[in-house]
Structure 1
Amino acid sequence: MRNEYKLGLLLAALAGGSVLPLVAAAHPPHARVQDEVYRGREQGRFMPLRAIENRIVPRMRGFDYLGPELNFAAARYRLKFMRGEQVVWIDVDARTGEIVARSGF
């Protein structure tokens, strides 16, 4: 009985191993956000992040710039700043570079 149990486990492992590649092949990987942003920039839909940062970061004197996040669906960058314990987010339209929201002030 013990050998039959081991054989069953081995067969289950082999069967599972052969099914996983099929499942992975059935669901192609999603496009990376960076790829979508690149295509958006190339098509003129998004401003380069560097240009947006060059507009916004100098306005935030006294704050440390921690970096961006992208909400691709809304076409917005959220730039994060910090001064002491105060955290501030500046939401910027990725198409125009205009500030659309601020929080944390």
Structure 2
Amino acid sequence: MIRSSLFSLACAALLFAAGPAFARGDRDHNHLRDAAAQGQVIPLNRLIAEVRSRPPYSDMTYLGGPQFDMRQMLYAFKFLDGSQVVVVYVDARTGRIVGRKP
């Protein structure tokens, strides 16, 4: 019971945090799509698959809803490790993991 409540709380927090990403509209999405078509960034589905295949992330649940920072060209992918949300930062140009919280 407690575990499902924690999971529900974590999901709600992630949805709330994703709000600003939706507020930017399609501008970033269109720019990102153009950059992927020109080979400037790695396509999102490929980045997600690569990160999900690497330990320790392969043992975690991917929560979806990636966020993108246009200025730094970084994706933030969210995973659930037990009851803790782990955010993994990935360079969209190289696919290299550049950080994580916690």
TM-score (norm. length: structure 1): 0.65
Query: C-alpha offsets along residues 28-64 of structure 1, whole Å, 9 cap, x if unaligned?
Result: xx76211010111122211101111111012213311
Q: Which has the larger radius of gyration?
A: 1
Which of 58, 61, 65 is the matching residue for 2:58? Answer: 61
Aligned length: 75
**C-alpha offsets along residues 55-105 of structure 1, whole Å, 9 cap, x if unaligned?**
10122133110121111111001110012321101100000100011112x
Runs of 4+ in structure 1 deviating by more than 6 angstroms, as ranges, are: none
The one of 85, 88, 97 equivalent to 2:86 is 88
Q: Using the alignment, how far apart are the partners of 1:92 and 1:62 within structure 2? A: 18
Of 91, 95, 98, 1:100 maps to 98
Structure 1 86/31 Cα, relative in aligned 2: closer, same or farther at 3 Å?
Answer: closer
Question: Which amino acid letter does the alignment assign opposite residue 36 of structure 1?
Answer: H
The one-letter code matched in structure 2 to 1:88 is V
Gaps of 5+ in 2: 1-24
Question: Percent of aligned positions with the same letter in both sequences?
Answer: 35
> Distance in 2 between the 1:54 and 1:31 partners?
24
